[in-house]
Amino acid sequence: MKKISLTTGASILGLSIALLIFYVYDLSSVNFTRIQVLKRWAIRPRARSRPTVITCNRSDLWYDLCSINGPNLLEPTSSTLFLVDPTRYFGPPVSVRTRPYTRKSDLGAMKHVKELTLTSAQHHMNCAVMHTSPAVVFSAGGYTGNFFHDFNDGLLPLFITVNSFFGNHDFHLVVTDCSLWWPQKYKEVISRISSLPMIDMDRDNRTHCFPSTIVGLIKHGPMTVEPARLARPITLRDFGSFLKDAYLGQGEDKAMQQSNHSQDTGSVRPRLVLLSRTRQVGRAVLNQKELMALAEQIGFNVTLFKPSHKTSLADAFRLIHASHAMLGVHGAGLMHSIFLRPGSVLVQVVPIATEWVSEMFFGNPARTLGLEYIEYRIQPSESSLADQFSIDDVVLNNPRAATKGDWSNMKLYLKTQNVKLDMVRFRACLEEAYVKAKRFMEENEGNENMDKLVSSSRKLIK
């Protein structure tokens, strides 16, 4: 071997020292990056933590809202939502249960709502139906079937929810606890909310896969929308406009608007829809014929409206939307008042003990919708309970003491109480309603197309 010269050896030594100095300096300047690299070589790399893809917000008084913000599989027979690929989920196993209905503290309602499970547990199922659009899962159980609750606990929360999360109609409605009549009765609303077919998970047992899923609906309170709580602010009036588009369509409504002032409306009578209740359900007007006669005498054209489960909502909407006033005793049927146009008149007859609930469920929403709201509180002598109890009895004069603050004790007032209006006293209320309805009619429309709407809905008169 040839000997390395002294000069060459010195050069190599100097270069080595320089590299060492550079390496030490570099280590200090990059926070020991190289040491960390060496550690990666020496030890097995740890998996990075990933965001939780199953979440539940249970902070609201009315509802729980859960979600899976990744691919998931719905297995309807077990009412369970799985992650499509649980192996991609890192972290402790997650399994949460929820009942997707907007009265979570009401045990009477929730016992009719199916419990759903969202889980990261392992499974061996495949997707029978693969969807490219997300899903909203909710229950049509609870108090569904009561017209007020259909809107208050179902359709309005659904409207709020989809407007909070989606900017279009490209999502699936997945419904549990769904009676066969429900999608048929509300078909116009359902098709207006979503452009995709509804999935009835109680009858469709196939596994469905979605890119993401929301379980539950958002509710702000009794017939309430709070724009400040929403990323995309909407109002209760927006919901009313949505219903108008669903049941009338923009073309028909535009035609009605173009007919404004097309006739001399001075001799035309404003149309009043009189909501009729039967004695079997309670809170019926016992002297209904006298009431109709008085309303006609004052100047109204009266239509008697007796809604039932078989009533076409499209026909009901046309009848009420084309009217100038609506009158009824407090009850679920007054939910039809949401079909009235802003500026028209709503008269609510308030039986004994229903003052606060009448205001909360219909009075306040009516004002929000821009209706002329008139409330008529009956006297004890106008209640059928006066036939069972003396006028000075606590039942008639202090209902709060009689019920002891227990809603279950309200049955006496809600189920057995009927109303016999004092026509002398009630006349002033009707006259006020007439003046406002007449003004609304004269200021807002001609009558040709509106009369056609009423005529097409005469099947509702019984």
pLDDT at 55: 93
Strand order in the sheet with 80-83: 95-98, 116-119, 80-83, 72-75, 208-210, 129-130
- pLDDT per position as a tens digit, 198-233: 999 999 999 999 999 999 999 999 999 999 999 889
Tokens of 9: 């050896």
Q: Could you state, in order of their start, the residue ranges of all structural domains in the chain?
A: 54-232, 268-445
Tokens of 392: 């000075």
According to DSSP, the residues that pair with 285 across neighbouring strands are 419
CATH code reported for the domain at 268-445:
3.40.50
**What dihedral do alpha carbons 6, 10, 12, 16 form, nearest 10°?**
150
- pLDDT per position as a tens digit, 385-409: 999 999 999 999 999 999 988 888 8
- pLDDT band of 327, cuts 50, 70, 90: very high
What whole-number percentage of the chain has pLDDT above 90? 73
When the pLDDT of each residue in the chain is averaged and rounded to a whole number, the result is 86
Of the listed ranges 211-220, 278-287, 445-454, the least confidently predicted one is 445-454
Interatomic CA distance for residues 340 and 348, integer angstroms: 14
Task: Inform me whether the pLDDT recorded for 90 exceeds 80.
Answer: no
Spatial contact of 262 and 360, defined as CB atoms under 8 Å apart: no
Interatomic CA distance for residues 431 and 300, integer angstroms: 10
Interatomic CA distance for residues 231 and 66, integer angstroms: 18
Interatomic CA distance for residues 139 and 100, integer angstroms: 6
